[in-house]
Amino acid sequence: MAEGVDGDCRLWARLGLTAFLSGAFGCGADLFDVNARCAGAQCPRLECNVEGGGWPADWASLEEQALSAVNEQRASGARCEDQLFGPAPAFLMSPALRQSARCHSLDMATQNYFSHESLDGSSPWTRIAAAGYAGTATAENIAAGYSDARSVVRALMGSAGHCKNIMQRSSNEIGIGFASSSTASYHSYWTQDFGRR
């Protein structure tokens, strides 16, 4: 996992790298807060399964900023620990992968956990399939605690497993999901789901 951002952060509980599945933690400030948005019965349900409809604009903007930062990195190439990657084509944002990533980030934020496996037992592969992705799922990165796109991408690129997921030419599509909750341990949660068609 990524190294600590500041001395008060306890990062790197463990690295869960299985078949290119990776997780990263970080420390940062809150943005839009799902819990501060409303109260009780007046709470609109956030819909992670539709483009646009009900998803906070600032979260969608962060997702687009992360896509830009990832694609800039792919265009430049990278060294992921001991492996050198040349420039790679830009990812296309897949609506189905984005749905899977958004739903997982929102689930982690609202249920206060950090794992590739959802509390209902679903894996990245089952979530991606349930979102209707027609290609082949290739990897998932998760990160927590980073409130801006550049910081989370920088942290992911600093971890060999995450970096390789971003730089692999075997993936050509991505879905990025961001969600935030002031009551969750890390406040900000990110998911990147990768695939190929």
pLDDT tens digits for range 61-107? 999 999 999 999 999 999 999 999 999 999 999 999 999 999 999 99
Report pLDDT digits (tens) over 132-153. 999 999 999 999 999 999 999 9
Q: CA 69, CA 109: separation in Å to the nearest integer?
A: 23
Residue 11 has pLDDT above 70, yes or no: no
pLDDT for res 87: 97
- Under the banding of pLDDT at 50, 70 and 90, the label for residue 55 is confident
pLDDT for res 102: 95
- The percent of residues in the chain predicted with pLDDT above 90, rounded, is 72
Q: What is the pTM of this model?
A: 0.80
Q: Average model confidence (pLDDT) for the chain?
A: 80
Q: In this predicted structure, which of 3-17, 21-35, 65-79 has the lowest mean pLDDT? A: 3-17
The number of angstroms, rounded, from the C-alpha of 181 to the middle of its chain's C-alpha atoms is: 15
Report pLDDT digits (tens) over 35-50. 444 333 333 456 676 5
pLDDT for res 46: 60
Strands 83-85 and 78-80: antiparallel
Compute how many other C-beta atoms are within 10 angstroms of the C-beta atom of residue 50: 11
CA distances from 127 to 3, 90, 122, 146, 196 (A): 28, 24, 6, 23, 16
Structure-model confidence comparison of residues 72 and 14, the more confident one: 72
- Under the banding of pLDDT at 50, 70 and 90, the label for residue 111 is very high
- The percent of residues in the chain predicted with pLDDT above 70, rounded, is 74
pLDDT for res 49: 63
- Under the banding of pLDDT at 50, 70 and 90, the label for residue 54 is confident
